[in-house]
Chain A
């Protein structure tokens, strides 16, 4: 009983600070310490959220942003994953591709925005392309290094015990690289949101970033803050997903 109570407390502690901040913010807004021209009260943001939800606008924007993020992440992530695995395992493709990938990696992908707009216009393709590009490199690098750093001794053991080809890969190489791959995924989830925010803010007709930019034109401070909060929640959510994957697949480490 007491143990469960303690566990409950422990789960609540991380949220104490955000909640406290929210309460203080609300209080200061009420008594005018924070002017609503600088920062709207949480209650105003909440009302804005309710309003936008009732018109269906908010859910539309959110689902569009989520869709872009997911699609871009999947394309870039899978590409980076397969390239990392190929180059990690096969010497020829490593020789052929790694140098080029490393060169591309050093270009900040956001610097490509003007070019990407010229190529694809400001429709879906440009955003998905940018997200995929941003996600590709962290996944690639970490997969590549993960595979390269699998202990040679364990691979040798696997071979000595009759493992070959896909069996060797799935029993030894991939699990050995997995923790590094997950680090890459976690990092790239951050890149994913960052890229999407920037891309949507600069050029879009929809999505959370567009909602914020549009609100700026009408001085709707509450909507701007709302979109920032949504990004924060999304960021937290994807981090939780990454953590969940680590806990599920790296159980042997604990």
Chain B
């Protein structure tokens, strides 16, 4: 099948979502290309998870439209796999069965291979409760990847991790993305993480996209690089409002 390069993989058009009268997303416009890596940043409660859940088809929107390869999304987005903010492993299934969830046929081999990719092959017979926070998230990542999704939605997958494990996981995600060329949307509250991984960083504020920044740095990116630091600073200064900015200056 010939893929038209101009058709975006995901197209959000004037997307609006409100929960009982509080407007969370107020006209989001976004085109994501095939194989693009997007990072979404924004303050807690600004609607990042809601946006991912809309793209996954887990939530209904009020107005606008979501199109996947020019087809309006109706119900579950079967091409997408979402990795939830809170992991959501099934505590009563062992690691391997968690990864193999929803697979058909010879699922064991496929699941083992996915676990190998995240470096947890050796823990496949353990209960999830026996894993550390980072290991759980790696299992959740393997579970999302095992379906070979065309769209990968990551909701703060590294939120609960220490700096070192975070770095490892970032490398892992980047490596998998480069290998599989999955269209990826990563939600994070860490601007550096966003700049390190994404082709484009998007900032959501008051229900709208207020910043969309292309990151044209070569990979793998050095966080100590001056350009890198500058870009991070620029985005960060857009997030924090003037009052908080003053506070930051005072602290410095």
Contacts and interface: CB of A to CB of B under 8 A. Distances in A.
Interface of A: 153-154, 156-163, 167, 171-172, 175-176, 178, 251-253
A153 B84 contact: yes
B171 interface: no
B64 interface: no
Given A153-B86, A161-B81, A172-B90, 5 more contacts: A153-B84, A160-B76, A160-B82, A163-B102, A171-B90
Secondary structure at the B interface, as helix, strand, loop or mixed, is loop
Contact of A175 (B84, B92, B128, B129): B92
A176 B92 contact: yes
Interface of B: 56, 58, 76, 78, 81-82, 84, 86, 88, 90-93, 101-102, 127-129, 143, 147
A171 B82 contact: no
Contacts of A171: 90, 93, 101
A167 to B, nearest CB: 8
6 contacts: A160-B81, A162-B78, A167-B102, A252-B91, A252-B92, A253-B91
Contacts of B129: 252-253
B147 A161 contact: yes
A156 B53 CA distance: 11
B147 A153 contact: no
Contacts of B147: 161-162
Given A156-B58, A252-B127, A252-B129, A162 B102 contact: yes
B127 A161 contact: no
Nearest to B87: A157
A251 B129 CA distance: 11
A20 B82 CA distance: 61
A101 B204 CA distance: 50
